[in-house]
C-alpha cells in the first residue's frame, strides 16, 4: 500500500500543489524535501514538473507521471487556502501535505 501526499509551495496567498503517489510519509518524501529541497528555486522547479509517482531526490527524473500522461491531468494545481488543499488531499487519499513557505517545510497531517 502506498502513502500518498501532496507537495506545495506557498507564494503569498496561493498554493501551487502536486501529487506524489508513493513514500509520502515523514521519513520518505518528508525527509527528501527537508534534505534536498531547501531553496525556493529548487522547490519551484520540482513542482513545475507536475505530479510524481515518487520523490527520491533532485536527480531522479524517472518518477514523473508526465511520460504517457496528459499534461492537464498531472500539471500543478492552484489553491487559495489550507482548507481547500486539505479537502483536495482527502479526495486523493493523501495522508500528508508538505508546504514550503518562508524558506522551510511545514507538514499538515490530513487525518491527524
- Establish if 90 belongs to a structural domain: yes
By residue range, what is the domain housing residue 76?
12-100
Q: Return the ∠ at Cα 86 (arms to 5 and 35), rounded to 5°.
A: 40
pLDDT at 101: 95
DSSP letter for each residue of 39-82:
SHHHHHHHHHT--BS----TT-GGGBS-TTS-HHHHSPEEESSH
**Interatomic CA distance for residues 60 and 30, integer angstroms:** 16
pTM for this one?
0.92
Name residue, grid cell 502513502.
3
71/37 Cα distance (integer angstroms):
23
pLDDT in tens, the chain (112 residues): 689 999 999 998 899 999 999 999 999 999 999 999 999 999 999 999 899 989 987 776 656 666 678 888 899 999 887 778 899 999 999 999 999 999 999 999 999 7
User: Reduced to 3 states, what is the DSSP secondary structure of residue 100?
Assistant: strand
Q: Tell whether 107 is covered by a domain.
A: no
Is the residue at 59 inside a domain? yes
Residue 110 lies in a domain: no
pLDDT at 107: 97
Virtual torsion, Cα 9, 11, 15, 18, nearest 10 deg: -30
Does residue 27 sit within a domain?
yes
Cell 502506498 -> residue:
2
pLDDT of residue 62: 54
Amino acid at each position: 500500500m502506498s502513502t500518498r501526499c501532496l507537495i506545495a509551495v506557498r507564494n503569498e496567498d496561493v498554493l501551487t500543489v502536486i501529487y506524489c503517489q508513493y513514500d509520502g510519509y515523514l521519513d520518505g518524501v518528508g525527509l527528501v524535501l527537508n534534505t534536498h529541497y531547501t531553496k525556493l528555486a529548487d522547490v519551484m522547479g520540482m513542482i513545475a514538473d507536475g505530479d510524481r509517482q515518487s520523490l527520491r531526490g533532485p536527480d531522479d527524473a524517472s518518477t514523473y507521471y508526465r511520460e504517457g500522461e496528459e499534461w492537464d491531468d498531472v500539471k500543478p494545481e492552484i489553491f487559495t487556502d489550507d482548507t481547500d488543499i486539505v479537502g483536495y488531499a482527502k479526495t486523493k487519499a493523501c495522508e500528508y501535505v508538505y508546504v514550503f513557505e518562508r524558506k522551510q517545510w511545514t507538514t499538515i497531517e490530513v487525518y491527524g
